């Protein structure tokens, strides 16, 4: 089984916060070069400064790029190729969530999730894997989610995008294993990052603290699993147990459990929308009146 060349050039998307920043910090002692990619350049520069200070022999390339912009993505890849001679390991970490009943959700947010979590991830993989196969060495770590293996009301599009990542990655892993390219996926449960801030617009049931892990813990487990070429990496003891339970529990039982949760979450969202007395995300104003 191939091992990812973590001593090579590593491109990390979504490196400006959360899991991506931690992956960069923990890979810095092993990598030859790190490419930090995201939209918030100042954040990336700050992290690059920190890493250069701690690891003087490491090359760090800050690449600001909106992955929803195909031309900007192509320009970024050309620059990386020109300055570092290609990418040995791709970490597709940038991702976006949204918590909402689907019928009350903003189309813009759905579109962004589909474009980032699915299309951008697939495009980068498609651009970079052929070269890895040609060289007979490489690695891809796709950041999926525990939701790539299960489902939960309030996350329809997000769950759908992560199921795509999980299925796509399982196939890719089999297709390129014989060509020297290691492919793993990370399927975390709740991690303390800025993810929730971006994804949640109204008060939702709080995730208990013992279920949540730090980005540092998540990145450590991810690198340990990826180094060993694990197919699916599930960080944290609680998530390991709960994902095993959810795999062996018949789906109809899960539906029975999640049904009341869906009703409760809908109630909370409708209440929040009514309280604010404005349409969500400035969309269709008939939505709120239709709910009253």
Our finding on whether 154 is near ligand NAP (CB under 6 A) is no
Question: Residue 180: which region, alpha, beta or left (left: phi > 0; alpha: psi -120 to 50)?
Answer: left
Q: Binder to ligand NAP among 74, 194, 203, 276 (CB under 6 A)?
A: 194
CB of 247 to ligand NAP, least distance (A): 17
Is 158 one of the annotated active-site residues of the chain? yes
Our finding on whether 288 is near ligand NAP (CB under 6 A) is no
Alpha helices in the chain (DSSP H): 18-27, 41-54, 70-84, 107-113, 121-135, 156-176, 195-199, 215-227, 237-248, 251-276, 286-291
Q: Mutual orientation of helices 70-84 and 121-135 as an angle, nearest 10°?
A: 30
Our finding on whether 221 is near ligand NAP (CB under 6 A) is no
Dihedral angle over CA of 216, 145, 91, 112, nearest 10: -120
Residue pair 30/7 in contact (Cβ under 8 Å)? The answer is yes
Q: Binder to ligand NAP among 5, 6, 17, 149 (CB under 6 A)?
A: 17
Integer Cα distance of 86 and 10 in angstroms: 9
Would you say 65 or 273 has its CB closer to ligand NAP?
Answer: 65
CB of 148 to ligand NAP, least distance (A): 8
Would you say 88 or 115 has its CB closer to ligand NAP?
Answer: 115
Our finding on whether 219 is near ligand NAP (CB under 6 A) is no
Distance set, CA 238 to CA 160, 174, 209 (Å): 23, 28, 11
CB of 213 to ligand NAP, least distance (A): 9
Q: Binding-site residue total for ligand NAP (CB under 6 A)?
A: 29
Our finding on whether 280 is near ligand NAP (CB under 6 A) is no
Q: Cα 174 from chain centroid?
A: 21
Q: Which residues bind ligand NAP (CB under 6 A)?
A: 13-14, 16-20, 38-40, 43, 66-68, 93-97, 116, 143, 145, 188, 190-191, 193-195, 198
């Amino acid at each position: 089984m191939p091992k990812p060349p973590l001593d090579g050039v590593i491109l990390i998307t979504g490196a400006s916060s959360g899991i991506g920043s931690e992956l960069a910090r923990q890979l810095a002692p092993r990598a030859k070069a790190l490419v930090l990619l995201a939209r918030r350049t100042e954040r990336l520069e700050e992290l690059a400064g920190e890493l250069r200070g701690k690891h003087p022999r490491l090359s760090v390339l800050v690449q600001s790029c909106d992955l929803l912009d195909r031309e900007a993505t192509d320009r970024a890849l050309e620059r990386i190729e020109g300055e570092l001679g290609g990418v040995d390991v791709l970490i597709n970490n940038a991702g976006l969530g949204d918590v909402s009943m689907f019928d009350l959700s903003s189309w813009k947010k759905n579109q962004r999730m589909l474009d980032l979590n699915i299309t951008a991830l697939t495009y980068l993989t498609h651009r970079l894997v052929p070269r890895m196969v040609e060289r007979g060495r490489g690695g891809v770590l796709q950041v999926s989610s525990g939701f790539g293996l299960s489902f939960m009301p309030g996350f329809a599009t997000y769950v759908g995008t992560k199921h795509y990542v999980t299925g796509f990655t399982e196939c890719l892993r089999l297709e390129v294993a014989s060509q020297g390219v290691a492919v793993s996926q990370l399927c975390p449960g709740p991690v303390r990052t800025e993810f929730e801030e971006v994804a949640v617009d109204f008060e939702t049931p709080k995730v208990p603290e013992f279920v949540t892990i730090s980005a540092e813990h998540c990145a450590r487990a991810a690198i340990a699993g990826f180094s060993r070429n694990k197919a699916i990496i599930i960080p944290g003891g609680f998530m390991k147990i709960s994902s095993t339970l959810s795999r062996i529990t018949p789906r109809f039982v899960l539906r029975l459990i999640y049904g009341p949760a869906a009703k409760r979450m809908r109630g909370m969202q409708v209440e929040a929308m009514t309280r604010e007395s404005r349409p969500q995300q400035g969309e269709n104003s008939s939505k709120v009146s239709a709910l009253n």
